[in-house]
Amino acid sequence: MEYHIINASQINALWDLQKCYKAEIGEDEPCAEDKTSLAKAMADNKITFYGAWEENRLIGCCSVTIGFSTFNYHPSGVFEDFYILPGYRHQGIARQLVQFAYRESGVSSLTVGCADCDVPMYETLGFTIPLGNLLALDI
């Protein structure tokens, strides 16, 4: 298994995983406009995707969006888009992908917002410090 940053030229491989991820969590399939928007965000370095590759096949991904934290006055990252193809789960790939993304992103902290049912999985991957509640603005 190899771990690499996914660049915008690899959008088709990433897009296949994005569609699988959305289907698995019960969300609508993203459209062509979404794919274009994602490729632009990647090319503009607004989001970085990290991938687990078996030979030339992308079998897992996650993303880190970098911001700045006044908690410790260093770059911080938001971890999202985490998905491993079902046939590759429970083999340690997820843990290695998370560690790779953390190291390569250069952030001092990495946070994830998740559903209650996913908390045990993220704790197993090393996300063990609770930071209260994550809320989103609805205007």
Which pLDDT value is given to residue 80?
93
Q: How many CB atoms lie within 10 A of CB 13?
A: 17
Report strand pairing: 74-84 vs 109-112: parallel
Would 137 be classed as within a structural domain? no
Residue 97 confidence (pLDDT) above 90: yes
Give the residue-averaged pLDDT of 65-85: 93
Domain count, the chain: 1
The CATH number of whichever domain residue 51 belongs to comes to: 3.40.630.30
Q: Supply the DSSP symbol for 89.
A: T
Q: Per the domain annotation, does 134 fall within a domain? A: no
Asked if residue 113 belongs to a domain, the reply is: yes
Q: How far apart are CA 87 and CA 58, in angstroms?
A: 12
State the pLDDT confidence band at 136, using cuts at 50, 70 and 90. confident
Tokens of 56: 């030339």
Q: Could you tell me the residue range of the domain that residue 117 belongs to?
A: 2-124
d(CA 104, CA 119): 24
Q: Look at residue 129 and tell me if it is in a domain.
A: no
Rounded Cα distance, 133 and 61, in Å: 25
Segment 26-67, tens digit of pLDDT? 899 999 999 999 999 999 999 999 999 999 999 999 999 999
